[in-house]
Amino acid sequence: MKNIQFTSLSIAVFAASISTGVAADSVKTTQAEIVMKASFKDRGQAKVDRLNQDETQRLCSQYPDNRPKEIAKRIEAINLKLMKYPADGKLLGDWKEGEKIAQSGVGKQFSDDPAQPAGGNCYACHQLTKEEISFGNIGPSLYNYGKLRGNTDAIQKYTFGKIYNAEAYSACSNMPRFGHNGILTEAQIKNVTALLLDPDSPVNK
């Protein structure tokens, strides 16, 4: 009962802040967070703490549009600093494993087994190969990615880094931060990087 009262009170406060035109972005974010937190509960591995925003997410919520250049730069700098490259210096794994990861949308949901590896679900947002005709277009087509970019050390580093943490290169990207958020392991990111860059990969055929 208490929870229900809390929720409706929060919604009332939230609605009031809109109708009275309270402009401060931080106020809006706080009210939205209260409503969200009151609306969800822990279920399996999907815990309510997923709603806690880090500095990047907070800044992206505060500036959803017309984001000042300095803010975008700050977000990218924060995330570049957090980047972790493989200790062995090797950025390319096995593209065949990478293709399986790109195809798989399993993982991180309350019903998934947290002990099993997650997928990257890359096709949900990107075209990657000619063979797979079912893909989303939130992200740009990555077909021929390696052919167009080449396979230099700099491109390997950018590609691994982009998949590890997209925010380091494009503030408030819609792309998940696969390495930073522990969705994919380092070995899995190497495999997906190879899928994009290996000349034998169907991405480049």
Site residues for ligand HEC per CB under 6 A: 102, 120-122, 124-126, 138-140, 142, 159, 162-163, 166, 170, 173-176, 178, 192, 196
The minimum distance between CB 18 and ligand HEC, in angstroms, equals 28
The minimum distance between CB 95 and ligand HEC, in angstroms, equals 11
Q: ∠ CA 152-155-160 to the nearest 5 degrees?
A: 125
CB atoms within 10 A of CB 113: 10
Which residues 6+ apart lie within 8 Å of 27 measured at CB?
Answer: 17
Q: Identify whether the C-beta of residue 93 lies closer than 8 Å to the C-beta of residue 85.
A: no
SS3 for 57-121, per residue?
HHHHHHCCCCCCHHHHHHHHHHHHHCCCCCCCCCCCCCHHHHHHHHHCCCCCCCCCCCCCCCCCC
Measured from the CB atom, the residue of 18 and 148 that comes closer to ligand HEC is 148
Measured from the CB atom, the residue of 7 and 54 that comes closer to ligand HEC is 54
The minimum distance between CB 202 and ligand HEC, in angstroms, equals 14
Measured from the CB atom, the residue of 14 and 93 that comes closer to ligand HEC is 93
Q: Identify whether the C-beta of residue 127 lies closer than 8 Å to the C-beta of residue 141.
A: yes
